A and B are shown apart, each in its own frame.
Chain A
């Protein structure tokens, strides 16, 4: 079945450093969502991208959707300890089935 590859699996950063996670699909996506899950918590919606080449910003977070709608990225500028958690992409190919990436777990050292 369809898969979404998410890299890296883990990332350790020093507070203040930047962080990026990537999602790649072999098939064209209709839209993609990003979620954050704090340790011991549940996934929380961050953003949805629909248009080719779309870029959206939320404070220190920048989300991109590739021109071919096969990849997406989440970039955090100047990480803070509150950014710790696992970031997931959720991909859709035109139906209502959801395919999640395996997630990138972010560790931030103060």
Chain B
């Protein structure tokens, strides 16, 4: 089944304890992205990757790191989590866009990771 998976789905942690949220897709998509969702703010892009070893900042990258060593995986790293990073996180992937399309194609979202930082 074509899908985007995230782990863990739920996580409660404490301030300063490094954590990684994994994201994996089995659709051979080039584009992957991380978003956080907060009430009233919609989805805000953290980082995105257009291919292996190619990453770029979204709108809210502070406090986060990413890597894209393999095409299928795009982990999100919080080196020193803080309470303001408590949020619902979504990973998404998208196939290579048509040449005439300037941005990504339709994005397939993972089920989400609910993170609480105490």
Residues of A within 8 A of B (CB): 1, 6, 9, 30-31, 33, 35, 42-45, 48, 50, 88, 90, 92, 94-103
- Would A98 and B112 count as touching, CB distance under 8 A? no
Contact residues in A for B50 (Cβ distance below 8 Å):
96
Q: Count the A-B residue pairs with Cβ separation under 8 angstroms: how many?
A: 73
- Would A96 and B109 count as touching, CB distance under 8 A? no
Contact residues in B for A42 (Cβ distance below 8 Å):
90, 109-112
4 more contacts with CB within 8 A, not counting A31-B101, A90-B43, A103-B42, are A35-B107, A48-B106, A92-B103, A97-B59
- Would B90 and A96 count as touching, CB distance under 8 A? no
9 closest A-B pairs by beta carbon, nearest first, are: A92-B103, A30-B102, A45-B106, A102-B42, A42-B109, A100-B43, A100-B42, A94-B102, A103-B42
A110 CB to closest chain B CB (Å) equals 26
A94–B101 alpha-carbon span in the complex (Å): 8
Contact residues in B for A50 (Cβ distance below 8 Å):
100-101
Contact residues in B for A101 (Cβ distance below 8 Å):
42
Q: Among B45, B101, B102, B105, which residue has its beta carbon within 8 angstroms of that of A99?
A: B45
**A-contacting residues, B32-46, CB 8 Å:** 33, 35, 40-45
Which B residue's beta carbon lies closest to that of A44?
Answer: B109
